[in-house]
Amino acid sequence: MDGVLIDSEKFWTQAELDVFSSYGVQVTDELAAQTKYMTTQEVTEFWYERFPWENFDSSALENKVVTRVIEMIQNQDCTMSGVQEFIQNLKNKEYKIGLATNAPLRVAHIVLEKLQVRELFDTVHSSEFETQGNLIRRCTLRLQKIWVFLLSTVLLLKTVIQD
C-alpha cells in the first residue's frame, strides 16, 4: 500500500520520530531504517528494547503512531498518479480486487477512502490479524482461492498504467 497506492512511507518515519522521541528515544536514520518493514507493534518493541522508559504501554504507543500517520495521510497530498484509474480499470474488467497490507486496518481504510476507491475493493486484509510468518505469503495463501490481489509493486503499477 505504502509507495504504491499512496506515498506515505515518510509519514511512518515521521510518526516514529514524533512519538518515540517524546519518550527519550534517540531515533536515528540508521535505526529507523531497520523498522521500515515492521508492524507498528514490532516497531514499538524495537524502540523500547533499545531505549527502555517507564510506564511502557505498547498498545497506547502503537495507537499514537497510527493516529499520527492517519493525520498526515488525511492532511497532506500523498496520492500517487494514476492509481484511481488503474483500480477502476481492473474493476471494469470485472476483476476481484483485494489489498493485503502491513499497516493496521484502520490506516488501509483511510487510504482507500482518501483515494475514493473503497467501494472497488472486495477485501482488505491487515497483518495485524496474523500471528506468524511473512504477511504477503500468509495473506495470499489464505485468500488466493477467492481474490485476485492488487500486489504492491511500483513496477507493476507503472507497466499496467502505460498499457
Q: 6 burial class (0-12, 13-18, 19+ CB within 10 angstroms)?
A: buried
**β-strand partners of 149:** 98
The stretch 60-75 carries a mean pLDDT of: 97
Among candidates 152, 97, 162, which has minimal Cα distance to 127? 152
DSSP-derived letter for residue 6 is B
Among candidates 126, 125, 115, which has minimal Cα distance to 87? 115
Confidence of residue 4 (pLDDT cuts 50, 70, 90): confident
pLDDT score for 132: 58
**β-strand partners of 125:** 100
**What percentage of the chain reaches a pLDDT higher than 90?**
58
Longest dimension (CA), the chain: 55
The stretch 30-57 carries a mean pLDDT of: 91
pLDDT tens for each residue of 12-21 = 999 999 999 9
**Model-level pTM?**
0.78
DSSP-derived letter for residue 88 is H
Q: Which of 119-125's residues contact partners 24+ apart within 8 Å by CB, and which partners?
A: 120/87, 120/88, 120/90, 120/91, 121/87, 121/97, 122/96, 122/97, 122/98, 122/147, 123/96, 123/98, 123/99, 123/147, 124/98, 124/99, 125/98, 125/99, 125/100, 125/101
The stretch 27-43 carries a mean pLDDT of: 89
The stretch 39-45 carries a mean pLDDT of: 90
pLDDT tens for each residue of 106-151 = 999 999 999 999 999 998 988 787 765 455 555 555 554 444 444 4
Residue of higher predicted confidence among 113 and 95:
113
The stretch 69-76 carries a mean pLDDT of: 97
